[in-house]
Amino acid sequence: MNVNPEPAGNEPETRHLLRLLQEMLRIRRFEERCAELYMEEKIRGFLHLYIGEEAVAVGVMQALTAEDAVVATYREHGHALARGLDMKAVMAEMFGKIGGSSRGRGGSMHIFDEEKRFYGGNAIVAGALPMAVGLALADKLQGRARVTCCFFGEGAAAEGEFHESLNLAQLWQLPLLFVCENNRYAMGTALALSESEQRIFRKAESYGLAAQEVDGMQVMAVEAAARECCEAIHQGGGPRFLECLTYRFRGHSMFDTQLYRTSGEVEQWQQKGPILQLRQRLEHNGALDENQWQQLEQAVRREINAAVAFAEQSAFEPESELCRGVYQEPAS
- pLDDT mean over 176-187: 95
- Asked whether residue 174 is domain-assigned, the answer is yes
Residue 2 pLDDT > 60: no
Q: Are 250 and 188 in contact (CB under 8 A)?
A: no
Please, what's the b/e burial string for 84-107 (b: 16 or more CB within 10 A of its CB; e: otherwise)? ebbbbbbbbbbbbbbbbbbbbbbb
> What residues pair up with 245 in beta bridges, in sequence order?
182, 215
Question: What's the one-letter identity of residue 69?
Answer: A
| 44-100 tens-digit pLDDT | 999 999 999 999 999 999 999 999 999 999 999 999 999 999 999 999 999 999 999
| Straight-line distance from the first to the last Cα atom of the chain, in angstroms, rounded to the nearest whole number | 52
pLDDT single digits (tens) 200-216: 999 999 999 999 999 99
Q: How many CB atoms lie within 10 A of CB 58?
A: 28
**Rg of the chain's alpha carbons, rounded to an integer?**
20
Residue 68: count of CB within 10 angstroms of its CB: 21
Contact between residue 53 and residue 183 where contact means Cβ atoms under 8 Å apart? yes
Parallel, antiparallel, or unpaired for β 176-182 and 148-153?
A: parallel
Is 3 inside a domain boundary? Answer: no
CB 174 within 8 A of CB 149: no
Residue 331 lies in a domain: no
Compute the half-sphere exposure of residue 309: CA atoms within 13 Å on the CB side of its CA: 6
Q: Please report, rounded to a whole number, the percentage of residues in the chain having pLDDT higher than 70.
A: 96
Instruction: Assess if residue 219 is contained within a domain.
Output: yes
Element at 165 (helix H, strand E): helix 160-171
> 106 lies in which domain range?
12-321
100 part of a folded domain: yes
Q: How confident is the model at residue 103 (pLDDT cuts 50, 70, 90)?
A: very high
The angle that helices 12-39 and 274-284 make with each other, rounded to 10 degrees, is 140
Determine the pLDDT at residue 10.
Answer: 52
Neighbours of 155 (CB within 10 A): 24
Residue 227 maps to a domain: yes
Is residue 35 within 8 Å of 49, Cβ to Cβ? yes
Helix (H) or strand (E) holding 181: strand 176-182
Query: How many Å apart are CA 43 and CA 117, to the nearest integer?
Result: 25
Over range 291-303, report the average pLDDT.
97
CATH number of domain containing 313? 3.40.50.970
Calculate mean pLDDT across residues 272-283: 96
Residue 5: is its pLDDT beyond 80?
Answer: no
pLDDT at 7 (0 to 100): 45
| CA distances, 244 to each of 87, 89, 168, 172 (Å) | 25, 28, 22, 25
If one counts the domains in the chain, the total is 1
Residue 5 placed within a domain: no
**Confidence band, pLDDT 50/70/90 cuts, at residue 9:** very low
Q: Is residue 157 part of a domain?
A: yes
In this prediction, residues 272-292 reach a mean pLDDT of 96
pLDDT tens per residue across span 110-125: 999 999 999 988 889 9
- Amino acid of residue 74: Y
Mean pLDDT lowest among 167-171, 263-267, 313-317, 321-325 = 321-325
From residue 157, give the alpha-carbon distance in Å to each of 162, 184, 188, 209. Answer: 6, 12, 15, 15
State phi, psi for 211 to the nearest 5 degrees: -140, 150
Read out DSSP for 258-269?
Answer: -TTS-HHHHHHH
- The answer, as to whether pTM is greater than 0.85, is yes
Residue 331: band (very low, low, confident or very high) from pLDDT cuts 50, 70, 90 = confident
Give the pLDDT band of residue 12 (cuts 50, 70, 90): confident
Distance, in Å, from the CA atom of 268 to the CA atom of 128, rounded to the nearest integer, reads 32
Please report the pLDDT score of residue 332 as a whole number. Answer: 64
